[in-house]
Structure 1
Amino acid sequence: MLSQVEPANRYPQCLCLSPTYELALQTGKVIEQMGKFYPELKLAYAVRGNKLERGQKISEHIVIGTPGTVLDWCAKLKFIDPKRIKVFVLDEADVMIATQGHQDQSIRIQRMLPRNCQMLLFSATFEDSVWKFAQKVVPDPNIIKLKREEETLDTIKQYYVLCNNRDEKFQALCNLYGAITIAQAMIFCHTRKTASWLAAELSKEGHQVALLSGEMMVEQRAAVIERFREGKEKVLVTTNVCARGIDVEQVSVVINFDLPVDKDGNPDNETYLHRIGRTGRFGKRGLAVNMVDSKHSMNILNRIQEHFNKKIERLDTDDLDEIEKIAN
């Protein structure tokens, strides 16, 4: 996007859509960092809460936002002239395509763009349905692929812990914490209810805990992530809202308190990859620990192992020596 902007033209030339408010802000920060050597470059955020006067036109060169707000800015409020857009980016394209509302809005925006507009779709994972859609949007694409085995991130050591119930999972978590030095950890739960319970229990144990879930206001979510990024809280307990794209360099451990499953109860391999990919970033070593509390969840774990063709070792969290070994 930066290479395509003509700074002398004071109108939006590049549009970047993200599935969430947090990701839009994060991408914007990266553009601001890279763009600081390009002082005339201006950036606008088309996100909920960014109110502009009706009838005004935007003079910023790059607009980053979520699909609903960008669509409003293009169609209803006419802040952006879509016919002048040169580059259209879908970030986390698979989510944008799989989520019905995002898909409809993204298509409506795309249809307003000029024919020669460059389309860029980014994602760590592309399912077949996403490919089909991508080929509709980008008829003659250049495809740049990483090998599947590179996706599974060889820098991450993966383990599982056998437990019988939620309380044992919590105990195992405390044992892990007692035995190894953790810079920062992200803990993923399946439901908001479990996430709230776990955050409360960890707080009682004296941990500094941040809680992030989908029903929070976007501004609250951004504030929680900012505090976690600054290290004010060492543990972030979250539902899947945070599995994607949130980069916090100090995350050394990811714990799946609940294994990721789709709405039919099958293993959600893509989410697993995105979740554990929050650690081991930037070439560092990472640690992923999966809590298994039933035959069903053991079956899910086995299917995840098969999918990635990568063995997940068993860990006994009652054995402190064993835990210390994995941390080195």
Structure 2
Amino acid sequence: MTAAASIALPQRPEDRPLVMGVVNVTPDSFSDGGRFFDAAAAVAHGRELVGHGADIIDIGGESTRPGAQRPSVEEELRRVIPVIEGLADSGAWISIDTMRAPVASAAVAAGARIINDVSGGLADPEMTSVAAQTGAGFVVMHWRGHSHDMQTRAIYDDVTADVCRELADQVGAALDAGVSRDQVVIDPGLGFAKTAEQNWILLQHLSAFQQMKLPVLVGASRKSFLSRVGSRGDGPVPAEQRDFATAAVSVVLAQAGVWAIRVHEVRSTFAACDVVRHLREATAGASQGAQE
């Protein structure tokens, strides 16, 4: 099969990042505990996120929380395809969150236009071929291994430089496989083979990823490194209560000018982006006034 024409990635609005809403069709998600494992519930949740303004809906059938066990390919397909088909007319871009080439291929055939591979093409050697052949957007995330042992691999000399270098190698492998550069989005992979401190360092150095001259997607939503944000000494903040911290991080991401933010709760993300927009408008207005 020859490579297909690339599906143009959605354009980032001038005043905010794109917002990617998460739909986990899994029984063991760290963030929502299987609330949307039923296909009808997942479709309804996806439509709710679109109603709240989500530009992209990211549908996943495999939990990537630390220690998670992998479903079979057949089970992953059973989980995600009906949801993709149910959201195909929602008006949002559909993204398939998978590390498996057969799932990605079937998902694009069902209506997905972005392949969000948290392994960045490393878990399945056929994934880059599927991206090339379908022309779908291809999110290449920094990755060092599967969930069952990824946190043992969080060893870096310089986390920002090392992640940028390894991510560049992953992008290079995708391009060598026939993926077009205009299909590619990069993701630093917060929480994947990263300690809490390393995640914060990467957030401090987002400009290093933007220097790669590719759209940057960041997913910090409800991740464990946020579990101490807002805690008052009474233990870690549970995942479902981390949306306040997520919104605060979204302010940082919007200020940095990333291409898209991946989140579970869409409305607070738009509020965060609006804060940044109002500050920029106020600053521009003050500058204009000073010149008159």
TM range (shorter): 0.3 to 0.5
* Larger relative contact order (CA 8 Å, sep ≥ 6): 2
Tell me which structure has the larger Cα radius of gyration. 1
> Which of the pair is proportionally richer in strand?
1
Q: TM-score, normalised by structure 1?
A: 0.29
Q: TM-score, normalised by structure 2?
A: 0.32
